[in-house]
Amino acid sequence: MKKAFTLLELVFVIVIIAIIAATMIPDVQRNSLREAAVQVVSHIRYTQHLAMVDDKFDASDSNWYKKRWQIAFHNGADTNNKWSYSIFSDSSGSSTGSPDPTEIAVNPFNTSKRLTGGANGTSLIHTGDSDATPKMNLGEKYDVENVTFSSGCSFHRSKKIAFDHLGRPLKGAFENYTSAYPSSSRLIQATCSITLSDAQGSVSISIEPETGYAYIN
């Protein structure tokens, strides 16, 4: 007599396989807010890298310290009223602090684009422009609704972080600096927290003083 599995045995085996698969296969559900935080941390570290390899010191230029590499967050009409950010060096040391297209870092993964999701102001790269990097508009790409800075890195409501040639993090708008280090209040001396929020919750990014080390809490 030929032996074979009964229908009940087959069903039992299928159930066991399903249970094992459910416990062993990782949860791949997309967490857009955490994806946004991972991207921002990567770009904070890249900004620090640019600042360390591109020292702006120039004894013949009284505004050299205003030209340090920085990462700035924007929200306005030119970003479709969504939170966006840019990595740039203000080569003119102007009083506006708004990056011209040529002052924005080139996207190393696509050299036809710049590292901005859009910035506010005329003659700038705006959200939707061909040379913008779309994923840097956090609101449109990841549904981020708000970006807040803690007291450790907030200065007159400015949402800008820069780094000196040693990689130390600085806060505030550089166009308002009157010297390389006008006061200790501009050098970040306590852990800086940048919080990204959406309708479901929030994720915080920390930047440590002195080292500028950035990570997700």
Mean pLDDT by 10 residues, the chain (217 residues): 63 70 56 96 97 91 88 92 94 66 93 93 84 96 96 84 92 77 77 95 96 96
Q: Is residue 20 part of a domain?
A: no
Tell me the C-alpha distance between 73 and 149, whole Å.
10
Residue 34: predicted pLDDT: 95
CA–CA distance from 131 to each of 25, 71, 116, 128, 136 (Å)?
39, 18, 9, 8, 12
This prediction has a pTM of: 0.83
Q: Is residue 134 part of a domain?
A: yes
CB 123 within 8 A of CB 177: no
Residue 108: domain span? 31-216
Q: Is residue 175 part of a domain?
A: yes
Phi, psi of 194 (to 5 degrees): -110, 120
Q: Is residue 112 part of a domain?
A: yes
Residue 155: predicted pLDDT: 78
CA angle, 204 as apex, 198 and 210 as ends, to 5°? 150
The two tokens of residue 202 are: 């929030």
Q: Is residue 23 part of a domain?
A: no
Nearest to 173 by CA among 101, 61, 70: 70
- The three-class DSSP label of residue 53 is helix
Nearest to 79 by CA among 143, 128, 127, 123: 127
Q: Is residue 14 part of a domain?
A: no
Tell me the C-alpha distance between 90 and 51, whole Å.
12
3-state secondary structure the chain: CCCCCCHHHHHHHHHHHHHHHHHHCCCCCCCHHHHHHHHHHHHHHHHHHHHHHCCCCCCCCCCHHHHCEEEEEEECHHHCCCEEEEEEECCCCCCCCCCCHHHECECCCCCCCECECCCCCCCCCCCCCCCCCHHHEHHHHHCCCEEEECCCCCECCECEEEECCCCCEEECCHHHCCCCCCCHHHECCCCEEEEEECCCCEEEEEECCCCCCEEEC
Q: Is residue 19 part of a domain?
A: no
Residue 90: predicted pLDDT: 84
- What domain count does the chain have? 1
Q: Is residue 48 part of a domain?
A: yes
